[in-house]
């Protein structure tokens, strides 16, 4: 080991440098870690699997059904997304989401019931009503119906005939007789008169 002209040593580390190096090495050396605690047998808690709720189950079910329906219409539309959308809309409109529409007012007004009358009597009266309605300028009146029933032996003195005449328009009897009447109301009167006189015959017998 030599000396420089100023009297210091060259070619070897100084004691101070050696101490610093030893301190750095000792601080960077790995320290022994503490032994990991080994759990005792039976101390671990087993996590129980959570049961699937109804909401999740229905969600999976609806998504599965929706996927199957979409794939079916997608195949039916020959793999066209636009045509698939049209088919899905048509299928959705066919679902029974609303109550079916009832009969139209015109259909209700033109509908008539036989009221328990025999078929031949019903057809004969309907033919007479249509012919009279075409011939008369004001149509069939209540007086026309009562006059026909009088000829058939169904007198207008019966209570159903009085009620029929009372429902006519007007305040006096003459105007009520000249009031127009419909086919259904006339059939109802015929049925009521037949029932009325039928009961009278049963009582007389």
Neighbours of 69 (CB within 10 A): 12
Residue 21 CA to residue 13 CA, distance in Å, equals 10
Q: What is the pLDDT along the chain (205 residues), one digit of tens a residue?
A: 444 444 444 445 556 655 655 655 455 545 554 444 555 555 555 666 666 778 888 888 888 898 998 999 899 888 898 999 999 889 888 887 777 677 776 666 566 666 678 888 889 999 999 999 999 988 999 999 999 999 988 888 899 999 999 999 888 999 999 999 999 899 999 999 988 888 877 777 6
Is the Cβ–Cβ distance between 158 and 197 less than 8 Å?
Answer: yes
Determine the pLDDT at residue 118.
87
Is the Cβ–Cβ distance between 73 and 84 less than 8 Å?
Answer: yes
Is the Cβ–Cβ distance between 160 and 145 less than 8 Å?
Answer: no
User: Hey, where are the domains in the chain?
Assistant: 60-93, 106-204
Determine the pLDDT at residue 201.
76
Tokens of 203: 């009582």
Determine the pLDDT at residue 27.
53
Whole-prediction pTM: 0.47
Determine the pLDDT at residue 147.
94
Tokens of 77: 């539309």
Determine the pLDDT at residue 161.
92
Q: Which residue in 95, 97, 76 sits closest to 85, CA to CA?
A: 76
Determine the pLDDT at residue 162.
92
Tokens of 102: 């009832």
Residue 68 CA to residue 74 CA, distance in Å, equals 10
């Amino acid at each position: 080991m030599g000396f420089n002209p100023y009297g210091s040593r060259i070619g070897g580390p100084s004691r101070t440098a050696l101490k610093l190096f030893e301190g750095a090495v000792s601080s960077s050396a790995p320290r022994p870690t503490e032994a990991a605690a080994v759990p005792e047998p039976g101390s671990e808690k087993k996590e129980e699997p959570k049961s699937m709720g109804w909401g999740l189950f229905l969600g999976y079910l609806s998504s599965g059904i929706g996927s199957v329906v979409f794939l079916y219409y997608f195949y039916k539309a020959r793999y066209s997304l636009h045509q698939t959308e049209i088919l899905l809309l048509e299928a959705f409109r066919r679902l029974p989401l609303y109550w079916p529409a009832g009969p139209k007012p015109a259909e209700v007004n033109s509908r008539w019931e036989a009221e328990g009358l025999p078929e031949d009597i019903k057809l004969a009266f309907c033919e007479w009503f249509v012919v009279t309605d075409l011939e008369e300028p004001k149509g069939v009146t209540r007086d026309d119906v009562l006059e026909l029933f009088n000829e058939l032996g169904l007198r207008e003195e019966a209570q159903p005939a009085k009620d029929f005449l009372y429902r006519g328009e007007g305040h006096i009897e003459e105007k009520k007789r000249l009031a127009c009447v419909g086919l259904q109301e006339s059939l109802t009167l015929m049925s009521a008169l037949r029932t009325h006189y039928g009961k009278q015959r049963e009582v007389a017998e």
